[in-house]
Amino acid sequence: MAARSSDSPNPDDPVGYFLQDLLYHGKSERTRNAYKRVLRRFEAFLTDPEQNLSGRSVVPETATQRDCMAWIHTLRGDHAESTIATYASYLHRFYAYMTQVGAFESNPMALVVEEMHESIDKDPMRREISVVDMREFVSEVTHPLERAVIFTLLKTGMRVGEVSNLDLQDVNLADEDARGAYSLGERPSLDGRPDSIFVAANAVRGQAINGEERTASNKRKRETIVPVDDELRRVLVRWLAIRPDAQSPAEPLFVSTSGNWGKRLTPKMIRNIVERHARERGWYRTGGGAEENVTPHYFRHFFTTHLRDRTGDRGIVKYLRGDVASDIIDTYTHNWGDRVREVYEANIYTLS
């Protein structure tokens, strides 16, 4: 374990130190209060010898993986799994940040979160849809815009906000007609990477990017280059052939063809597209929960489970989802052409 440098912070109140830095990083009061409730609750658990596994009062800096898992266990029965996952993510971020700035020597939540992802992704209560059933579903989506949006969600695992934020410069397609009509893939990160999509990590709701204020944030830990296979390329090219002129200098990939003609599709518009088709299929009902209703978030779950089961490579799936730490993402970025694309194209399901 690396020794702590002499100029590293050593706060008497690590939680307070972290919360103060959240303020400096521009997090809202609501977000800071949510972190505060969870982290102070965890801290109280550690200091109670009758609850934690050590039988003595423990501070966050010396807590072990077993201490963290024991606290997670106390939440079960009182909270939904999604809430527990959120609390675990707060704790994970706290430890990751304190380790990064040198206040703590290690992050005991890293393996805990890794193990939790496995159990959450395999939630037995969630609706399970086969690739065959999903093919039947998308076969009924005929409008080029709606088909392109749904295919992009299903074949990339992107969040709805990330799809909304895509601009033409983020999409590099190896199609002469599309490239003749549009300025595609002009991001430097896409140079030499045909048939790929750049997903930024720094898009923030309310921020002006390429001259347009965004209505959604991207939630990736790092920027990601996602491969585009032949099937998705064909669907995107078909959409681009009828795409209206955009009403934004940012040139969004997906723009409305109805009442908001030429304006960027917002996350709400995308959710409405998916909901409408899911209702027609019997996969969505008013009042239904996340385990029953098919939404853009469900498509992310579908992508994760099916691609992970096909590849057996959780690292690549996490890279594509934008969920992994910098050391892993750097490894896959370095071998992008040889590793990620090869595994993706060999294993990604076809939908038509």
Given a contact cutoff of 8 angstroms between Cβ atoms, the answer to whether 292 and 282 are in contact is no
Residue 79 has which token pair? 């909270």
273 residue type, one letter: I
311 residue type, one letter: T
This prediction has a pTM of 0.66
pLDDT at position 319 is 82
pLDDT digits (tens, 9 = 90+) for 277-299: 999 999 999 988 877 899 999 99
Per-residue pLDDT in tens (0 to 9) along the chain, 352 residues: 333 333 456 688 999 999 999 998 888 888 899 999 999 999 999 998 887 777 788 899 999 888 898 898 888 878 777 678 888 888 988 998 898 888 998 888 887 877 665 444 445 456 889 999 999 999 999 999 999 999 999 999 999 999 999 999 999 999 999 999 999 999 999 998 999 999 998 788 888 989 999 988 888 878 889 999 999 999 999 999 999 999 999 999 999 999 899 999 999 999 999 999 999 999 999 988 877 899 999 999 999 888 888 877 777 788 888 876 554 445 545 554 557 888 899 899 999 9
pLDDT at position 190 is 92
- Identify which of 138, 170, 268, 149 has the alpha carbon closest to the alpha carbon of residue 259: 268
Given a contact cutoff of 8 angstroms between Cβ atoms, the answer to whether 248 and 264 are in contact is yes
Q: For residue 255, list its beta bridge partners.
A: 264
CA dihedral 137, 195, 171, 204 (to 10 degrees): 80
Residue 116 has which token pair? 């939790």
CA distance 40 to 112: 19
Measured in degrees and rounded to the nearest 5, phi and psi for residue 102 equal 90, 10
